[in-house]
Amino acid sequence: MTKQSVMISDAKLGIGQLAISLELLAAAESCIEISSSSRRKLLKSETTEPGKIATWVASMRASSPTRVRPAASLFEAEQHNSWMVRHPSALGMFEQIASASKGKQVVMFLDYDGTLSPIVQDPDQAFMSDEMREAVKETARHFPTAIVSGRCRDKVYGFVRLGGLIYAGSHGMDIRGPSRSRKEQKVYKILLERTKSIPGAKVETNKFCLSVHFRCVDEKKWVDLAEQVRIVLKEYPKLKLTHGRKVLEIRPAIKWDKGKALEFLLNSLGYANSDDVLPVYIGDDRTDEDAFKLLKDRGQGLGIVVSKVPKETRASYSLQEPSEVMDFLRRLVEWKRNSIRASI
């Protein structure tokens, strides 16, 4: 069973230090061990599994729309309208959200890519705007706020550069984490070798997971990319593949995701069994669905998906793009300020 130990100070403000000690970190370490003999075996392996590759590529397309297309027919327009009825705009429904927040402690959870910053061709250039940074800063002044990302915690912090927030990287496995002096990530090196022949592919190490970005890969090459990743994973049963927006993510095959991270953070902040808390999670990726599901299962909290196109989601509300996320955060802060003034 996974062990957890937590150290919290000033937890109610959401700015205390969190120390997470998980056996899964050791598991992540062991997952990237590889002997020289298995490496030779891996590099020689050229067998294919067409069914699995076809499934992977289908998932890549489903989670990574290549373009936003206008409604081409009345049927598509009706589909979009139906989706908006089921997942109305969080801005349009703000008064209802504010009403549900009265008398409760709002706790904010924010994804980064596609939520606080736009999706860009080069993931290293996914900078948030100064206006968004100010909106997040003000949000964190009024509500406990955490950023939960698939990226490593240090990289997310480098983008956001704000104190007073909780940073949870690698889908929540890297809430605090040990020092970066770890053994060489051989799987990372093998992925680099395997994907270097595919133009536009980029492999990123996120401490406890690996990301294979295909934002700049021609869609005709997605099958080739998926095959190279499959060859690597075939040798590592303790690793699993998940699909994100223009990214394949490889992580330890353990029961940990953004939903588990959200639950862990709520427990750490002292809100495990509180009826007076309202968690709000905003994200755009398939990996955020685990957090949306947790809120649904709890019957407590609001999930807000960021998307311009209808897609399957467990979120209750929607926003179209990061600029709307910024507007929503600003309105939430203004509502809080007005509530404080009214109580004086």
Q: Which two tokens stand for residue 142?
A: 């009024």
Q: Which of 10, 111, 218, 327 is catalytic?
A: 111
Write out the H or E segment, with its range, that includes residue 191. helix 186-195
Residue 174 known to be catalytic = no
For 252-274, write each residue's pLDDT tens digit.
776 778 999 999 899 888 898 88
Give the pairing of strands 145-148 and 302-306.
unpaired
Q: What confidence category does residue 5 fall into, taking pLDDT thresholds of 50, 70 and 90? A: very low
- State the average pLDDT over residues 98-127: 93
Dist CA 325 CA 283 (whole Å): 10
The pLDDT-based confidence of 62 (bands split at 50, 70, 90) is low
> What's the mean per-residue pLDDT of the chain?
80
Domains of the chain plus CATH, in order, are 103-173+273-342 (3.40.50.1000), 182-252 (3.30.1240.20)
With tokens 């004086």, the residue in question is 344
Contacts 24+ apart (CB under 8 A), 307-316: 308/68, 309/65, 309/68, 309/80, 310/79, 310/80, 310/82, 310/83, 310/84, 313/87, 313/289, 314/289, 315/87, 316/87
Q: Quick check: 130 pLDDT over 90?
A: yes
The whole-angstrom distance between residue 339's C-alpha and the CA centroid of its chain comes to 31
SS3 sequence, 277-306?
EEEEEEECCHHHHHHHHHHHHHCCCEEEEE
pLDDT class for 251, splitting at 50, 70, 90? confident
Residue 252 — φ and ψ, nearest 5°? -55, 140
- The two tokens of residue 319 are 């926003």
Q: pLDDT tens, 7-29? A: 333 333 333 344 443 333 334 34
CA distance to 133, 137, 276, per residue, from 337 (Å):
19, 14, 19
Whole-number pLDDT of residue 35 = 39
For residue 13 the two structure tokens come to 């403000």
Q: Measuring CA to CA, which residue among 126, 166, 142, 138 is closest to residue 285?
A: 126
CA atoms within 13 A on the CB side of 343: 8
